[in-house]
C-alpha cells in the first residue's frame, strides 16, 4: 500500500508587505490540521487527507482574509463529508467546498463593504487512494513529478491559460503576455464560479505539488523540476523551491505544498506516462 509524506511552506516574498497566501493540510482520520512531525506521514487510504493552496487577491480589500475564509470553508466541508471513500464523493465534496467558500466571501464583503473586491484562487486535492481528486479555481497550480518529468495537471484560469487552450500561443510564450495574471475565475468575486476538476493516478516515487503563482512566476518549469530533482524529502523540497523563488526576486507571496508517494516494498517506476483527466464544473 502506498503512503505519503507531506509538507508545506509559505513565504511573504521580497516585495509584498503581507502574505495573502494560505495553505491547508487536513487529516480526516484524526481531524487534525497542520504539520506536526508525527502527522506528516500517513497511509494513502480512506478517510483521506486534504491539501490546499489559496492565493488571495484584492490588496487593501483583504486578499489575506479571502484566502483564509476559503480554506476554512474547505476544511469544514471536507470534515462534513468524511470519510471519503470514492472518487465521486471526493469530487462532490470539493465542488461543494468551492461553492461554500464563494458564498462565504461574498457574504463577508457585504457585511464589510471596505473589503468588497477581495477574492482568492483555490487549488485543493483529496488523497485517499492511488487516484487523486483535484479542484482548481484561478491560477494556482497542481503538478505531478514522475521520475525526470514534471507535468502541469491544472490549466490556469486566466488570460494566458485561455490563449494556450485556444492555440493562440504556445506555453513557452506565456511569459511575454503583458496581462498574463488577469484571472477569468476566482472565488468570492461573482455569484457563480467555474471550477475545474482533475483526476490523476499516482505511484511510488511521485511528487504532487500544489503552489501559488508566486513560485511559477519567477521560476519556469525546467527550473522547478531541477530543484525538485535535488531532494526526496518534502521538507527540503519546499524549502528549496520557496527560497529559490525569493532569490529570483520574490515579487509575490510564494506557497508550496508537496506530497511524496512511497511504497517501501516497490521499486520506482519512472517510465510510465502520467495519465490524468480534466473537466469543468460550475458551483
Cell of 160: 494566458
The residues that bridge with 133 in the sheet, in sequence order, are 126, 199
DSSP H helical segments within 47-179, as ranges? 63-81, 87-111, 159-165
Within a domain: residue 166? no
Burial (CB count <10 Å: 0-12, 13-18, 19+), residue 154: buried
- Residue 172, number of CB atoms within 10 A of its CB: 10
Within a domain: residue 155? no
119-120 and 141-146: which strand pairing? unpaired
Which one has a higher pLDDT value, 217 or 1?
Answer: 217
Asked whether residue 234 carries a pLDDT value surpassing 80, the answer given is: yes
- What is the per-residue pLDDT across 17-26, written as a single tens digit (0 to 9) for each? 889 999 999 9
Handedness of CA 202, 207, 209, 215 (dihedral sign): negative
Within a domain: residue 222? yes
pLDDT-derived band at 178 (thresholds 50, 70, 90) equals low
Q: Which of 109-118, 175-184, 206-215, 221-230 has the lowest mean pLDDT?
A: 175-184
Look at residue 246 and give its three-state secondary structure: helix
pTM for the structure as a whole: 0.92
| Predicted pLDDT of residue 158 | 72
Task: Report d(CA 44, CA 35) in Å as an integer.
Answer: 17
| Predicted pLDDT of residue 242 | 97
Average pLDDT, the chain: 90
Nearest Cα residue to 132 out of 210, 194, 57: 210
Asked whether residue 172 carries a pLDDT value surpassing 90, the answer given is: no
Within a domain: residue 275? no
Within a domain: residue 28? yes
| Predicted pLDDT of residue 142 | 98
Q: Where are the beta strands (DSSP E) in 147-211?
A: 149-152, 196-201, 207-211
Give the mean pLDDT of 77-88: 95
pLDDT-derived band at 163 (thresholds 50, 70, 90) equals low
Give the mean pLDDT of 8-17: 91
Within a domain: residue 271? no
pLDDT-derived band at 116 (thresholds 50, 70, 90) equals confident
Domain that holds residue 196: 3-150+183-265
- Provide φ and ψ at 150, rounded to 5°: -130, 120
Within a domain: residue 48? yes
Task: Report d(CA 106, CA 200) in Å as an integer.
Answer: 31
Task: Report d(CA 281, CA 25) in Å as an integer.
Answer: 24
| Predicted pLDDT of residue 64 | 94
pLDDT-derived band at 7 (thresholds 50, 70, 90) equals very high
Look at residue 109 and give its three-state secondary structure: helix
pLDDT-derived band at 150 (thresholds 50, 70, 90) equals very high
Q: Most distant CA pair in the chain: distance in Å?
A: 56
| Predicted pLDDT of residue 162 | 64
Asked whether residue 232 carries a pLDDT value surpassing 80, the answer given is: yes
Q: List Cα–Cα distances, 173 to 11, 167, 170, 178, in angstroms.
A: 27, 11, 5, 11
pLDDT-derived band at 229 (thresholds 50, 70, 90) equals very high
**Helix 63-81, helix 87-111: angle, nearest 10:** 140
Within a domain: residue 241? yes
Look at residue 209 and give its three-state secondary structure: strand
With beta carbons less than 8 A apart as the criterion, state whether 105 and 86 touch.
no
Which one has a higher pLDDT value, 166 or 65?
Answer: 65
> Which residue do the cell numbers 468524511 mark?
82
Count the domains in the chain. 1
* 47 prior amide bond cis, ω within 30: yes
CATH code, 28: 3.60.40.10
With beta carbons less than 8 A apart as the criterion, state whether 256 and 8 touch.
yes
Amino acid at each position: 500500500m502506498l503512503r505519503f509524506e507531506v509538507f508545506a511552506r509559505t513565504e511573504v516574498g521580497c516585495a509584498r508587505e503581507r502574505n495573502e497566501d494560505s495553505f491547508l493540510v487536513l487529516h480526516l482520520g484524526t481531524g487534525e490540521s497542520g504539520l506536526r512531525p508525527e502527522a506528516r506521514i500517513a497511509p494513502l487510504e480512506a478517510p483521506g487527507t486534504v491539501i490546499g493552496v489559496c492565493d488571495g487577491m484584492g490588496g487593501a480589500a483583504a486578499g489575506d482574509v479571502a484566502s483564509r475564509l476559503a480554506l476554512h470553508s474547505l476544511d469544514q466541508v471536507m470534515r462534513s463529508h468524511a470519510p471519503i471513500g470514492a472518487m465521486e464523493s471526493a469530487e462532490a465534496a470539493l465542488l461543494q467546498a468551492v461553492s461554500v467558500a464563494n458564498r462565504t466571501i461574498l457574504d463577508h464583503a457585504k457585511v464589510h463593504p471596505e473589503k468588497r473586491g477581495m477574492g482568492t484562487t483555490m487549488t485543493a486535492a483529496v488523497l485517499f487512494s492511488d487516484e487523486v481528486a483535484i479542484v482548481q479555481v484561478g491560477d494556482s497550480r497542481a503538478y505531478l513529478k514522475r521520475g525526470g518529468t514534471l507535468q502541469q495537471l491544472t490549466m490556469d484560469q486566466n488570460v494566458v491559460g485561455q490563449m494556450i487552450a485556444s492555440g493562440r500561443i504556445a506555453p513557452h510564450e506565456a511569459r511575454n503576455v503583458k496581462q498574463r495574471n488577469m484571472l477569468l475565475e476566482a472565488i468570492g468575486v461573482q455569484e457563480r464560479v467555474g471550477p475545474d476538476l482533475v483526476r490523476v493516478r499516482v505511484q511510488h516515487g511521485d511528487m504532487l505539488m500544489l503552489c501559488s503563482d508566486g513560485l511559477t512566476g519567477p521560476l519556469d518549469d525546467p527550473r522547478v523540476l531541477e530543484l525538485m530533482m535535488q531532494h526526496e524529502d518534502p521538507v527540503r523540497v519546499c524549502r528549496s523551491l520557496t527560497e529559490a523563488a525569493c532569490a529570483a526576486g520574490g515579487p509575490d507571496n510564494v506557497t508550496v505544498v508537496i506530497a511524496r508517494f512511497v511504497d517501501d516494498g516497490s521499486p520506482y517506476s519512472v517510465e510510465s506516462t502520467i495519465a490524468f483527466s480534466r473537466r469543468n464544473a460550475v458551483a
